[in-house]
């Protein structure tokens, strides 16, 4: 008798847990106006450290496709297929309203990002504010923080994932008037219908860390939000290495402050 009660309470307990797990899924599916996208319910795959850090060649990576030239400012760029399909639909809808979306940058793998980073680290390339970090800054951590204002550290870019795109212009000001403003407003009103969200919104109390605001950068969150969650689960600062200045990754806390320092719609 005693053991029956015990069994009953165990199944009741498990039942409650099970219902509790179901509730958010049902809620997400029935809710017409979810406050936050619920991409976590559709996990088919988990992404490992190697992938998340962009250690692969997108040209040879299953699931990646070449972006047709007409959608981009140059040929030879790649995206994950689902992200490109969503972009094509979004672009067509925008065109009908006189807004012309063009991809300026898409997938950049680790070695591509390492090239950009090391040129800046060695002072072979100046930052856009004229700083030559090799000449002007002695302290390695300060050097890295300065470069991080403009470029991501290899291994920490969402562009590694094949889910993120830069649109039309790399200048925030362009999006503040005329055609640029019209495009920005259209995207803010419509991009979410196609799965695109901005990870690098303005820095404030809700996004205190990370890369500066980028009005051109959009992320295909049905894929990239789960990737962000995988990064949170598996990626650690000590993984971020293999380039000049990588010893600063742990001092800065790049995983916490940069990879996870994104708008909540993208994680
Ligand atoms: Zn970008």
Taking the complete model, does pTM exceed 0.85, yes or no? no
CA 215 – ligand 1 centroid, Å: 9
pLDDT digits (tens, 9 = 90+) for 95-136: 999 999 999 999 999 999 999 999 999 999 999 899 999 999
CA 35 – ligand 1 centroid, Å: 25
CA 19 – ligand 1 centroid, Å: 40
The closest alpha carbon to 233, from 25, 37, 40, 46, belongs to 46
Proportion of the chain in helix, strand, coil states, percent, rounded to 5 = 55, 5, 40
CA 159 – ligand 1 centroid, Å: 6
Q: Print pLDDT tens along the chain (267 aa).
A: 444 465 666 565 555 555 545 443 333 333 333 344 555 555 667 899 999 999 999 999 999 999 999 999 999 999 999 999 999 999 999 999 999 999 999 999 999 999 999 999 999 999 989 999 999 999 999 999 999 998 999 999 999 999 999 999 999 999 999 999 999 999 999 999 999 999 999 998 888 888 999 999 999 999 999 999 999 999 999 999 999 999 999 999 999 999 999 898 888
pLDDT digits (tens, 9 = 90+) for 127-148: 989 999 999 999 999 999 999 9
CA 259 – ligand 1 centroid, Å: 13
CA 7 – ligand 1 centroid, Å: 55
CA 14 – ligand 1 centroid, Å: 45
CA 88 – ligand 1 centroid, Å: 18
Q: How far is the C-alpha of 50 from the C-alpha of 90, rounded, in Å?
A: 30
Say which residues have a Cβ less than 8 Å from residue 114's Cβ, sequence separation at least 6: 154, 242, 243
CA 239 – ligand 1 centroid, Å: 22
């Amino acid at each position: 008798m005693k053991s029956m009660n015990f069994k009953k309470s165990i199944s009741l307990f498990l039942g409650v847990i099970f219902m509790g797990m179901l509730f958010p899924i049902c809620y997400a599916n029935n809710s017409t106006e979810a406050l936050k996208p619920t991409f976590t319910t559709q996990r088919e795959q988990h992404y490992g450290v190697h992938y998340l850090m962009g250690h692969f060649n997108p040209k040879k990576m299953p699931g990646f496709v070449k972006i047709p030239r007409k959608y981009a400012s140059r040929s030879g760029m790649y995206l994950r297929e689902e992200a490109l399909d969503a972009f094509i639909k979004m672009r067509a809808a925008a065109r009908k309203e006189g807004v012309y979306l063009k991809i300026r940058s898409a997938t950049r793998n680790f070695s591509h990002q390492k090239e950009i980073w090391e040129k800046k680290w060695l002072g072979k390339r100046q930052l856009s504010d004229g700083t030559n970090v090799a000449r002007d800054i002695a302290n390695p951590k300060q050097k890295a923080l300065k470069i991080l204002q403009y470029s991501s550290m290899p291994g920490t870019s969402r562009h590694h994932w094949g889910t993120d795109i830069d649109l039309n212009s790399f200048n925030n000001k362009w999006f503040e008037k005329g055609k640029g403003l019209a495009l920005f407003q259209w995207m803010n009103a419509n991009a979410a219908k196609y799965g695109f969200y901005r990870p690098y919104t303005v820095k404030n109390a809700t996004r205190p860390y990370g890369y500066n605001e980028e009005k051109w950068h959009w992320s295909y969150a049905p894929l990239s939000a789960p990737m962000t969650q995988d990064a949170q689960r598996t990626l650690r600062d000590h993984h971020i290495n293999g380039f000049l200045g990588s010893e600063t990754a742990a001092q800065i806390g790049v995983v916490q402050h940069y990879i996870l320092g994104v708008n909540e719609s993208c994680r």
